[in-house]
Structure 1
């Protein structure tokens, strides 16, 4: 069995290497999603509205949740959480952004199901005015539901490290038996599975082809892949939560605690993968996304080329005038 020092070192390196990789790919993917699905060819598709919204919240989540995790858990710089105001702000914004992004995925699954339904009344929920209403409700709900994580945020010295956490029997009971199992695990997993399955059923029905042609079929396919990947990623996080809840009051050795810390870091950092994979799923599944992405790259090259030509001309002009 590895020593506690070795397990802690593995945990830190896992956080640093995978965390930095997720930050790089996540920021790039979210930016590309925003640029691609804001374009005219995608703007009228109802799911695009949810994807753009999710991309914005993914950037916030990576910035206020994953980046501090890498700095504190990976590089061991605890002073980031030494200010109460910063702790309160980080707790609130990380819960708000991560949950708003997660439920945006659920709304994407709902939108695909509604868009492919053979019932006209259900398909009305894919209209842009209703989509924007659901986006607003999602944002307002999590703005209010995240307030307890700001109110009960405290800075504690745990194992000689300042940590930002929530304190209080009420909030801890709520987190253990309501927030994580229901709002993070069960409801999103059920929604993604339910709407994903029946969207696939709608896609396979012959009489559904008429109105399915009215939406981007590639968009439907790539969202179904995203739903499957997201649902699978819930499994290790859910198992880790069950284990941590069951063993919370057990007496543990330093080696056991180090192993628990490693497991928590692996599942927690892995869970942030949900905020990074969407763009790479979309670009692998959709010709339209790949084409638009190539256009963005070409435009970037043209802009860089113009700037280079302008810079060369400016230097030439300065040389000629001296």
Structure 2
């Protein structure tokens, strides 16, 4: 192994130490806190846009341990789980595509919901900006992606030459050259541009009635737009990775080229997973409602078992929090 290849390999290992592990830890913490915050306030979990963002957090909780953690373990610690067990190989490839594409489309659907919510067409608005419509959209989308990438689960297999690999040429070619570029890049870009232009156009025509509700909606809209911008920067290179790897799969590569490609793809994955790790912290920075709800949650945890003496007329009573409260802890 040349010194250049060894240096690149060492850098790749340390990148996983300093970026891979923190992405998983902070991503999981952020996803869990997103669910906690959005489920604790009625105004959040009854808002159709928020339901899409909640679904995105659930996707993060599934994606990070099933897809990104095995990659970090392999590249940073030499623990290659998906190259040792056939079932792990199959599940890894399946969740790689199914959860990644879902993480891209939940913000896109949330953008469409905001477009519908600002529409002046009452019939269109009432049909699409509703909890019922959101639940059906999530169900149909999850079912569609699950079925679309089911062949990947079936034909993935461990091979001596390629490791964890989609062995069927036609399915591999269709996946890397068609479905990934189309559904991971082209369709989301078109959908996002259409929705954001529609939202801006509708807002210019919209007459505001309820100042408090409008403030809440504006915060949701700002959170969503910020998340979409992060997605645009970090997410779409995933499609380039699939196309490049498939196009160069049959080329005999030097050790140096393989090392450079490996670390380049690793950096692309870091950028992509910023979308997973950064979502909650975007919400926290932008929305005062999120900060307030999170603060109330932590204060409730810290103060739950604190006994507070209260002086009343006639006697001193020790009053603590009741354990029969109907409110969630």
Taking structure 1 as the reference length, the TM-score comes to: 0.86
Aligned to 2:195: 195
The 8 Å contact of residues 234 and 273 in structure 2, kept in 1 or not, is answered as: no
1:1-322 equivalences under 5 Å are 3-39=4-40, 40-124=42-126, 125-158=128-161, 163-203=163-203, 205-210=204-209, 213=214, 216-234=217-235, 236-241=237-242, 243-244=244-245, 246-303=247-304, 305=306
1:63-98 Cα distance to aligned partner (Å, 9 max, x none) = 100111111121111245311122222322333222
The 8 Å contact of residues 233 and 271 in structure 1, kept in 2 or not, is answered as: yes
The 8 Å contact of residues 26 and 277 in structure 1, kept in 2 or not, is answered as: yes
* Alpha-carbon distance, 1:140 to partner: 1.1
* Alpha-carbon distance, 1:250 to partner: 4.0
Rounded Cα–Cα distance in structure 2 between residues aligned with 1:55 and 1:79: 25
C-alpha RMSD of matched pairs (Å): 2.4
Rounded Cα–Cα distance in structure 2 between residues aligned with 1:157 and 1:20: 28
Q: Which deviates the most, 251-260 or 93-102?
A: 93-102
* Alpha-carbon distance, 1:280 to partner: 0.8
Shift of the 97–79 alpha-carbon distance from structure 1 to 2, 3 Å rule, reads: closer
Aligned to 1:316: none
The 8 Å contact of residues 4 and 256 in structure 2, kept in 1 or not, is answered as: yes
Q: Which deviates the most, 116-125 or 231-240?
A: 231-240
The 8 Å contact of residues 46 and 126 in structure 1, kept in 2 or not, is answered as: yes
The 8 Å contact of residues 109 and 195 in structure 1, kept in 2 or not, is answered as: yes
Shift of the 11–197 alpha-carbon distance from structure 1 to 2, 3 Å rule, reads: farther
The 8 Å contact of residues 104 and 235 in structure 2, kept in 1 or not, is answered as: no
Give 5+ residue unaligned stretches, structure 2: 308-329
1:86-133 Cα distance to aligned partner (Å, 9 max, x none) = 222232233322222322121111111111122212212011111111
Rounded Cα–Cα distance in structure 1 between residues aligned with 2:237 and 2:139: 31
* Alpha-carbon distance, 1:171 to partner: 1.6
How many residue pairs get aligned? The number is 302
1:209 is paired with a residue whose SS is coil
* Alpha-carbon distance, 1:156 to partner: 2.3
Structure possessing the higher relative contact order (Cα contacts under 8 Å, 6 or more residues apart): 1
1:276 is paired with a residue whose SS is helix
Rounded Cα–Cα distance in structure 2 between residues aligned with 1:30 and 1:44: 19
Taking structure 2 as the reference length, the TM-score comes to: 0.84
Give 5+ residue unaligned stretches, structure 1: 307-322
Shift of the 133–215 alpha-carbon distance from structure 1 to 2, 3 Å rule, reads: farther
